[in-house]
Amino acid sequence: MGIVADYYALLNLPQDASNEEVRDAYFKAARRYHPDANPDPLVRERFIQIQQAYEILSNPRQRSKYDLALVESFILPDISIDVKNSRSIIPRFNEEQLFYSLIEIRCASKFEVTKRAPFFLCLVIDTSTSMSGKRLEMVKANLINVMAELNPDDKICLISFNDRAEILLEPIQKSDVLNLDQYVHLLSPKGGTELYQGLLKGFRTILENGKSYISRHIILMTDGHTYGDEQASIALSKEAEDHGVVINAFGFGDEWNDKFLDEITSNTGGNATYVRHSDDLKKYLEQKVQVYGKLYANKIIYQFYKDPVVELRYAFRIHPDITPLSCSDGLHFGNLQYNGNLKVFLEYAIRPLDSEKKSLRISSGRLKMNIANVEQEAEMFLKINLGVSEKRVSEAPPASIVDAMSKLMLYRMQEKAREEIKNGQISEGTKHLQHLATHLLSQGNRELARAVLLEADHINKNKSFSEEGDKRIKYATRSLLLPSSLE
């Protein structure tokens, strides 16, 4: 059943908007698009659509019929959404309370070779002086191996950067490359690190040469901080997301800016990974390349509305890869593979509720995505609305919520410790690390617990993390969230 327009989106409303919200949104939009204020024919057409939207949504009977038709038009038979909440009802407290949701998006469609989407892979390699020696040799060896795994119709390019960027291998289909080794061996160290130059060159190369590819990826490899171009790189990552270009990053050694790389990768639905050994790089690269050609949907964004007393405090993707997400009104969930799933954990803070509130809109909105095999946009509704109770209801959270919370607790404990030590709160920070080690021991993770205790001892003596310690602990506790098959 075809729908002329999504009237809720037209009025910037959630699907469960109240009559008052519909009326207020209509008057706001009508003032903005009234023909008396702007004679543009397109504005006049928008004004007519706004009037139609109000006529439908302000009439209970017409709205009910419209809602049924709208939901039917949004159904995606291959995708299902499952939401687990820490509570089924919100108690009316006079103090702030926390609420958790675990959202899982599943694709039931099985992958077949005929469904494989050729992808564009741009490898952006840091060749600054600090990458000389074992690090660059490790990159070279693994690039040759992973590029050999590409399909003939995949397109690749290779870019090196230091304080400038250059294309070593122009964009080309794998089938047309005679000798990959000769291009990889052109990587040679010199100069400083200007990460923006490499990202910009990679992004522009993909835009100019990859228009026919739905699945487009940049893999960034670096071992250092960039200097003075962080904000430009962050802005570029947001532009990359707008074009469906995913950025993943591998950090080598101890000096790279993990918080910065987390931000630019998560903006695009990708993630940053800490590489300690050549075997790590081999495994991580193979995992990335294996899923690139199995893309079902990309650019999955949750655009939502919430009650003013609700604040989204924390968002974390825990499957298929793991990364913190920026808490905004548009959450970038990432990509979904055939026969795969996508899991996101959300933490909300709910401020004290007044006596008149009978229900609470935690979040209500749309999941927007691009379906790769048909090259079209699709949407699904997702809402978390719960009743408010005068009594404290005793109920145990679902096991999946408890499991996610327990694993995230360890990761967030080290986050807190890192922040405290950064701010000179050495005693508080080391206590949190000691608590972390105790929890790890109770779960049987003795090796990581020992590393955490050794790091706490180092911090007590030196008032800072060791060169390796902060990243090793951060990414090791983060990896606890992965299924055992992917660790």
Domain CATH code at residue 47: 1.10.287.110
Same domain assignment for residues 140 and 223: yes
Residue 394 covered by a domain: no
Same domain assignment for residues 444 and 370: no
Mean pLDDT of successive 10-residue segments in the chain (487 residues)? Answer: 68 89 91 80 84 92 87 81 94 92 95 87 95 93 86 94 94 88 90 94 95 91 88 95 92 90 93 91 89 88 93 93 85 92 96 89 91 80 91 86 91 93 94 94 92 94 89 90 55
Same domain assignment for residues 171 and 213: yes
d(C-alpha 361, C-alpha 248), whole Å? 34
Q: Which residues contact 15 (CB under 8 A, 6 or more apart)?
A: 8, 67, 70, 364, 381, 383
Residue 409 covered by a domain: yes
Q: Do residues 255 and 129 touch, judged by C-beta distance below 8 A?
A: no
Q: Do residues 473 and 432 touch, judged by C-beta distance below 8 A?
A: no
Beta bridge partners of 167: 159
CA atoms within 13 A on the CB side of 444: 0
Residue 381 covered by a domain: yes
pTM score: 0.86
Output the pLDDT for position 450.
94
Same domain assignment for residues 284 and 135: yes
Same domain assignment for residues 367 and 277: no
Same domain assignment for residues 374 and 226: no
**Phi, psi at 203, each rounded to 5°:** -65, -45
| Listed residues 273, 293, 313: the one ending a domain | 293
Q: Do residues 322 and 481 touch, judged by C-beta distance below 8 A?
A: yes
Specify the DSSP element, H or E, that contains 143.
Answer: helix 134-147
Residue count of the chain, please give it: 487
| Listed residues 389, 424, 451: the one ending a domain | 389
3-state helix, strand, coil in the chain (%, to 5): 40, 25, 30
Q: Which two tokens mark 253?
A: 């050694």
| Listed residues 336, 362, 389: the one ending a domain | 389
Beta bridge partners of 124: 159, 220
- 269 sits in the region (left: phi over 0; alpha: psi -120 to 50; else beta) called left
User: Position 63: which residue type?
Assistant: R
Domain that holds residue 12: 7-74
Total tally of structural domains belonging to the chain: 4
Q: Which two tokens mark 66?
A: 């419209």
Same domain assignment for residues 450 and 332: no
* Exposed/middle/buried for residue 208 (C-beta within 10 Å: 0-12, 13-18, 19+): exposed
